[in-house]
Chains A and B, each alone.
Chain A
Amino acid sequence: MAPGRTMVLWAPDWPIVAVESSASTPAAVLHKGQVLACSQAARAEGVRRGMRRRDAQSRCPGLALHDYNPDADARAFETVLTAIEELSPGVAPLRPGLCAINVPARFYGGEAEAAAVIAERLVRLGVWDVRAGIADGLFAAEQAARRALAQDSLVVPPGGSAQFLRDLPVDALDDESIVGLLRRMGLLTLGDFAALSPADVHTRFGTHGELLHRMARGLNPQPISRRQVPPEFEATLMLEPPLDLAEQIAFSVRTTAEKFVTDLAGHGLVCTTVLIEVDTDGSLATSRRWMHPRWFGPTDLVDRVRWQLSVDGVIKAPVDAVRLIPEVTEPLGDHADSLFGGGPDERVERGVARVQSIVGHEAVVSVSVQGGRGPAERQLLAPWGERPVAARAAGLPWPGSLPPPAPATVYLEPQQAMVVGAEGQAIGVTGRGMVTGEPARFRAAAGQDWQPVASWAGPWPVDDQWWDEVAARRIARFQVVGVDGSAYLMIVEGGSWWTEARYD
C-alpha cells in the first residue's frame, strides 16, 4: 500500500502578512533589533533577514517597521487553519505560516487540483502568496512548497522524494550545528549526505543525526500529527422577541449559562475569565471581561450578566442576543476543592457575591500594599475577583517615603489644613527646602479646632515625577503632633497645607 501523500502549504513572510501589510509597500518585522521578515517590496530594495534596524532603514528609508508578535501571528494563522479545515479535515499546524495536510486528491480529482482549490480558498481569504508542495513525506513536501511559485504547487511524484531532495543544499535541513559540520566534511548536497550508510551516520551524529539522514533520504520518519478541531464553547442566547429589562434577561440567560458551564466541564475545563457580549438591534452594545477568583458557575455568570446590564445607559434598545465567550479556561483538576481547603473558601465567596449584588461589582474590593512615596499611593485596591495589578513594586526602596509606623487613616482627598507660627504668621517652605518659621498652632481640617503643636518634624521635600510635566509635584511632608496626642501627616504644596493622613 502506498504511504499517505502529504501536502505542505506555505505562506512566505507570514509575520508580514499577519500585520496586514500589503506586499507592495516595503515593510519589515523586527525581533530583537533584527529583521525577522520583510515584504517583497522591501526585499527588492535590498532588505534581508537578520539585518539590523539601522541598516535596513538606510537601504530603504520608507520601510514600515513592526514589532514581532508571535501570538498575533498564531492568531492570524488560525483563520487560515479554519479555512483549510473546511476543505479537508486534519490540519497539522507546523508553525505560523506553515501547515501540512493529507492530500485530499481523490475528492478533488488530483493532487495539483486539490492544491489549486485550497490556494483559491486562501486567496479569497486575503492570503495572496500561498505555495503548496506535495510529496511522500513531510520534509520533502516542505522543500517542494519552498520551491513552488506563488499560488501554485509543486508535485513530487510518488517515490520520487529521494531524487527530488538529492540536489538540494544541506542547508535545507535547518539544523545549524549539523549543517555546519556536514559542510566542513565536504557534504554540500542532501544527496551526498543521503549516500552515507545509516550505521555510520548513527555512530557519528547520534539519533538526531539519524533522523535528519532519514529525512534526506526521502523517507518519512515522522507522520504528521493532525490537530483536533477545537471544540466550540461559546454560548449564545438569542432573544426573540428582544427584551429590555436586565432582570428578564438575567432570568432567560440561566439555561445558557448552565449549558456553557456543563460543556466546559464535559471537557474537564472550568472558565476563570469570561467575555460577555450583549447585542442590541443586531449590533454590539456592550462587551466586558469578567474574572472570577475561583471559576464561574451558572449563578456567577447570571450575576455578571445582570451587573453588566444594570450599568446605566448601557441598554438603549431591546437586547436580542447575549454571548458568553470563555477567555481563559483551566483544567478542572487545578481547581478541585483540596482536602484541607485553600483559596478563598466557598462560603466567603457566596457571601461576597451577595454583597456585590447589593452594592455593585466594583464596590467590594480586595486589598494589598504597593510601592509609593505617599501613604495614599501605597494603598492597592482591586475589585473582588480581579487580580490586583500593582503599579509600583512594594519591595523596592522608595526614597522620600516615610519610615514606619504607617498612618491608620489615609484620607482619600487631602484635607485643607492651617499651620501658623507663634505670632500667627503663615509657615511655608522655601525653594531650598527650609521651613520659614517654627509651627506653633495648627488646624488639621477645615471644621476642627485650633490646637498648639506639641512636636513636629520636617520638611521632607519630595520632587515627584519631575520628568512628567502634568504629573510633576513638588511637595514637602511634615509630621505634626498636637498637645492632645493626635498626630498628622501633612504636606505643603504651593504654599498651602494639607492633611494627608492621620496616625490615630
Chain B
Amino acid sequence: MTVAPAPTLDELRARVDQMQGRPAAQPVATHPAFAGLLQLQTGSSYAVDSASLAMALMAGPSADGAWCGVVGSAEFGLEAAAAAGVELRRTILVPDPGEAWLEVTAALIDVLGVVVVAAPAEVSGKDVSRISARLRQRGGVLIAYGDWPRCDARVSLRDAEWVGLGRGHGHLQARRVTVEVRRGSGPARAGRLWLPDRAQVIRRAEQEPTQLRSVS
C-alpha cells in the first residue's frame, strides 16, 4: 500500500471538516509583500512581535473589505496603520477592555474578519482553545501582538536597518527588515522586506544592484 499523495490528503481533510460541520480553512487576502512567506487563513491565529508587522498583516484583509478590530492596544499608531493600507473606516478599537479583554475578543471574532489582540496578561490554554474554536467556527483571523500559545505561525522581525538617519542629520525614511515565519517546529522561512520603503510602501526587498557613484 502506498501513501496517498499530498493533494488527496488535503482533500480528505477538507471533507472531514465539511462532515464535522465546520468550514474548511479558506485563504484570506494577504499583503503581496508576504507572498511565499505567509498566507493568512480563516480560523487561524498568528503571533507577531511588532506593531508594524501586525498592521502589515491587517492591511491585506482590510483592503479586501474586511472589518478589523484592535483590542487592548491604546497605543496603536493610526497614521502608520493607514499608511500600511489599513482602512480606518472599517477599524474598531477597544483600547482598554480591562478584565473583559477575552470576552471582548470573542465577541469581536463573531463579527469581524480580523482581530488584533494585545493580551494584557498570560493566556491560559483553556482560553486559547475557546478562542480557536470560535475562530474556526466564524472563519476569523486572530493576530496576537505578543505571545500566543499554540498559534499557527509566529511572525517575527529582526535585523532592522533604518535608512535616512545619520549622526545628527537626516530623518527616518525607510526600514529594511528580515521577516521570519515559524510554523510549529518546522524550519523558519525568512525574507527581506521593506517595512516600509521610501515611498511608504511595504514590499519585498529584492537584491538591489549596488548603487555606483561616480568618483572622478
Residue numbers of A with Cβ under 8 A of B are: 344-345, 347-348, 350-352, 354-355, 358-359, 363-369, 375, 378-381, 384, 402-412, 435, 438, 455-458, 479, 481, 484-487, 501-504
- Contact of B52 with A504 in the complex, beta carbons under 8 Å: yes
- Contact of A504 with B51 in the complex, beta carbons under 8 Å: yes
Contacts of A354 in B (CB 8 A): 107, 110
Determine the residue in chain B with the shortest Cβ distance to A380.
Answer: B78
- Contact of A479 with B171 in the complex, beta carbons under 8 Å: yes
A466 to chain B, nearest CB (A): 24
Determine the residue in chain A with the shortest Cβ distance to B52.
Answer: A408
Q: Does B179 contact A (CB under 8 A)?
A: no
Tell me whether A379 and B78 are in contact in the complex, defined as CB-CB below 8 angstroms, given that A406-B83, A438-B167, A457-B165 are known contacts. Answer: yes
Q: Would you give the 0/1 interface string for B78-122, flagging 1 where the beta carbon is closer than 8 Å to chain A?
A: 111111000011011111111010011001101110000000000
Given A352-B92, A366-B93, A369-B88; 7 other pairs, CB 8 A cutoff: A355-B94, A405-B175, A405-B196, A408-B52, A457-B168, A485-B159, A504-B51
A196 to chain B, nearest CB (A): 63
- Contact of A455 with B165 in the complex, beta carbons under 8 Å: yes
- Contact of A348 with B67 in the complex, beta carbons under 8 Å: yes
Show 24 residue pairs from A and B whose CB-CB distance is below 8 angstroms, ordered by the A residue.
Answer: A344-B67, A348-B92, A355-B108, A358-B97, A364-B92, A364-B94, A367-B91, A367-B93, A368-B89, A375-B79, A379-B77, A381-B95, A384-B92, A405-B80, A406-B80, A407-B80, A408-B51, A408-B76, A409-B51, A412-B75, A457-B166, A481-B162, A503-B52, A504-B51
Contacts of B67 in A (CB 8 A): 344-345, 348
B53 to chain A, nearest CB (A): 9
The 8 Å CB contact of A359, one of B76, B94, B162, B174, is: B94
Contacts of A409 in B (CB 8 A): 51, 75-77
In Å, the complex CA distance between A369 and B55 comes to 15
Closest 9 CB pairs of A and B: A351-B111, A485-B160, A406-B79, A408-B51, A408-B52, A406-B80, A455-B165, A408-B80, A408-B77
Contacts of A503 in B (CB 8 A): 52, 162, 172, 175
Contacts of B50 in A (CB 8 A): 408, 504
Contacts of A502 in B (CB 8 A): 51
In Å, the complex CA distance between A502 and B160 comes to 14
B172 to chain A, nearest CB (A): 5
Tell me whether A363 and B97 are in contact in the complex, defined as CB-CB below 8 angstroms, given that A348-B111, A351-B108, A479-B172 are known contacts. Answer: yes
Contacts of A345 in B (CB 8 A): 67
In Å, the complex CA distance between A229 and B100 comes to 49
Tell me whether A486 and B108 are in contact in the complex, defined as CB-CB below 8 angstroms, given that A359-B97, A378-B78, A408-B50 are known contacts. Answer: no
Determine the residue in chain A with the shortest Cβ distance to B99.
Answer: A359
- Contact of A479 with B92 in the complex, beta carbons under 8 Å: no
Determine the residue in chain B with the shortest Cβ distance to A354.
Answer: B107
Tell me whether A485 and B161 are in contact in the complex, defined as CB-CB below 8 angstroms, given that A369-B82, A501-B77 are known contacts. Answer: yes
In Å, the complex CA distance between A486 and B177 comes to 11
Determine the residue in chain B with the shortest Cβ distance to A366.
Answer: B92
Main secondary structure of the interface of A (DSSP, over half): mixed
In Å, the complex CA distance between A407 and B161 comes to 15
- Contact of A457 with B170 in the complex, beta carbons under 8 Å: yes
The 8 Å CB contact of B55, one of A408, A435, A456, A486, is: A408
Contacts of A348 in B (CB 8 A): 67, 92, 111-112
- Contact of A406 with B171 in the complex, beta carbons under 8 Å: no
A342 to chain B, nearest CB (A): 12
The 8 Å CB contact of A367, one of B52, B88, B110, B177, is: B88
The 8 Å CB contact of B169, one of A363, A364, A457, A487, is: A457
Contacts of B112 in A (CB 8 A): 348, 351
Residue numbers of B with Cβ under 8 A of A are: 50-52, 55, 67, 74-83, 88-89, 91-98, 100, 103-104, 107-108, 110-112, 158-162, 165-175, 177, 196, 200
- Contact of B93 with A358 in the complex, beta carbons under 8 Å: no
Determine the residue in chain B with the shortest Cβ distance to A459.
Answer: B168
In Å, the complex CA distance between A112 and B97 comes to 70
B112 to chain A, nearest CB (A): 7
Determine the residue in chain B with the shortest Cβ distance to A384.
Answer: B92
In Å, the complex CA distance between A105 and B90 comes to 63
The 8 Å CB contact of A481, one of B93, B94, B165, B169, is: B165
B49 to chain A, nearest CB (A): 9
Determine the residue in chain A with the shortest Cβ distance to B103.
Answer: A358
Contacts of B75 in A (CB 8 A): 409-412
Contacts of A359 in B (CB 8 A): 94, 97-98, 100, 104
- Contact of B51 with A367 in the complex, beta carbons under 8 Å: no
Contacts of B93 in A (CB 8 A): 364-367, 381
In Å, the complex CA distance between A485 and B163 comes to 11
Determine the residue in chain A with the shortest Cβ distance to B86.
Answer: A367
Determine the residue in chain A with the shortest Cβ distance to B110.
Answer: A351
- Contact of A358 with B100 in the complex, beta carbons under 8 Å: yes
- Contact of B200 with A410 in the complex, beta carbons under 8 Å: no
- Contact of A455 with B162 in the complex, beta carbons under 8 Å: yes
- Contact of B104 with A355 in the complex, beta carbons under 8 Å: yes
In Å, the complex CA distance between A435 and B51 comes to 31
In Å, the complex CA distance between A351 and B103 comes to 12
In Å, the complex CA distance between A410 and B75 comes to 5
Determine the residue in chain A with the shortest Cβ distance to B200.
Answer: A404
- Contact of B172 with A369 in the complex, beta carbons under 8 Å: no
Tell me whether A358 and B51 are in contact in the complex, defined as CB-CB below 8 angstroms, given that A408-B80, A455-B165 are known contacts. Answer: no
Determine the residue in chain A with the shortest Cβ distance to B101.
Answer: A359
The 8 Å CB contact of B92, one of A365, A410, A455, A485, is: A365
Contacts of B174 in A (CB 8 A): 405
- Contact of A347 with B200 in the complex, beta carbons under 8 Å: no
Interface centre among A344, A348, A456, A487 (most CB of B within 10 A): A348
In Å, the complex CA distance between A347 and B76 comes to 25
- Contact of B172 with A487 in the complex, beta carbons under 8 Å: yes
- Contact of A369 with B165 in the complex, beta carbons under 8 Å: no
